[in-house]
Amino acid sequence: MKYYMAPLEGITTYIFRQVYNRHFERFDKYFTPFLASTKLTSREKQEILPENNQGITLVPQILANNPDTFLGIARQLADYGYRTVNLNLGCPSGTVVAKKRGAGQLGDICRLRDFLDEIFEKCPLTISVKTRIGLESMEEWDALIELYSDYKLEELIIHPRLREEYYSGKPHVDAVSKAIKHGLGYPVCYNGDILSKDDLQRVVAFLTDIPDYNIMIGRGVLRNPFLLSQIKGLDSHDDSDSESLIRDFLIDLAESYAQAYGKGQDRNVLFKQKDIWNYLGLEVEGHDKEIKMIRKTESVAEYCSLVKRIYHG
Ligand SMILES: Cc1cc2nc3c(=O)[nH]c(=O)nc-3n(C[C@H](O)[C@H](O)[C@H](O)COP(=O)(O)O)c2cc1C
């Protein structure tokens, strides 16, 4: 079983990936948040530059519903030395779905088939897919499995929720089991709501008769950056060690963003830190006052001293 860090737009940037890797257990694979510009923007280039991603396996992700856009981005990625790309068929956001991209592509199987036919025929790179199990109805999944079984994917990553469910309710683990039992002939990866080792064990118990699959984790690792080492049974830190490790990670992260953004960018640096606190804050007890101050502060120096007040281990 291999473990992947999920792409989270605006959060798992190259800076986040680098800093996470300096402090915590590394994942087997990382995925960029989606790239969508026909000509990669300078921000998108930063995400995929090999020098920004040393020592890790990175798969760039593309969000596109037009074969020319997809192939144009893929060719630029090939020029940077990438051999595989991931297609986003899962993004549930209103603006993305309204343009029939991401999970919005799942609603019209004929159009999706035409799109896949063309990109699989012409793409110089292998293609994996990250998908939801339908737009509005569980009935859609069987046809999607049939569709995916017609292509030689690098891997199928399944977040087993409908678009309509966004992130609510429990993931439909049985949908993943159905896809694997169909015998697709390539690896399958489960993704969704793994926040603890127990959550993973529940998925493993559900998929008990299934020989091989991989696991992708997103929000769980933001809430608890030790999650992967705990899952692997490698975490032997006491509470005070853990506090100082998280503190050093958060300060490194803020300083790394500050360095990348340059002087006078405190507000932008802090936007990035505050996004992480939406998840990390859920796991912190007894520091409501400091967390409120983190949400309000406009100074990186004050932010770092608040982090030190919370994690003084
Ligand atoms: C803020 C946010 C941004 C996301 N951005 C992306 C993205 O760029 N590409 C993608 O495939 N999935 C994206 N996702 C979905 C995650 O990769 C993942 O599928 C989802 O969070 C479920 O996994 P988890 O429960 O382990 O977090 C995003 C999710 C969130 C909450």
pLDDT band at 19 (very low <50, low <70, confident <90, very high): very high
12 CA to middle of ligand 1, Å?
10
Percent of the chain with pLDDT over 70: 100
Q: Is the pLDDT of residue 237 over 90?
A: no
pLDDT band at 77 (very low <50, low <70, confident <90, very high): very high
pLDDT 10s digits, 242-263 = 999 999 999 999 999 999 999 9
Residue of the CA atom closest to atom 8 of ligand 1: 33
CATH pick for 3-231 out of 3.90.950.10, 3.40.50.300, 3.20.20.70, 3.40.50.1220 = 3.20.20.70
Mutation choice for ligand 1 from 4, 8, 86, 97, CB with most ligand atoms inside 8 A = 8
Q: Is the CB of 179 under 6 A from ligand 1?
A: no
218 CA to middle of ligand 1, Å?
6
The structural domains of the chain, with segments of one domain joined by +, span 3-231, 239-310
Q: Is the CB of 88 under 6 A from ligand 1?
A: yes
The rounded mean pLDDT for the chain is 96
Whole-prediction pTM value?
Answer: 0.97
Q: Is the CB of 60 under 6 A from ligand 1?
A: no
pLDDT 10s digits, 266-287 = 999 999 999 999 999 999 999 9
pLDDT 10s digits, 129-156 = 999 999 999 999 999 999 999 999 999 9
Residue of the CA atom closest to atom 19 of ligand 1: 159
Q: Is the CB of 171 under 6 A from ligand 1?
A: no
| pLDDT for residue 312 | 84
The DSSP result for the chain, as a single string, is --EEEPP-TTTS-HHHHHHHHHHSPPPSEEEPSPB--SS--HHHHHHH-GGGSTTS-EE-EE--SSHHHHHHHHHHHHHTT--EEEEEE----HHHHHTT-GGGGGG-HHHHHHHHHHHHHH-SSEEEEEE-S-SS-TTHHHHHHHHHHTS--S-EEE--S-GGGTT-S---HHHHHHHHHH--SS-EEEES---SHHHHHHHHHHTTT----EEEESHHHHH-TTHHHHHTT-----HHHHHHHHHHHHHHHHHHHHHHH-TT-HHHHHHHHHHHHHHHGGG--S-HHHHHHHHH---HHHHHHHHHHH---
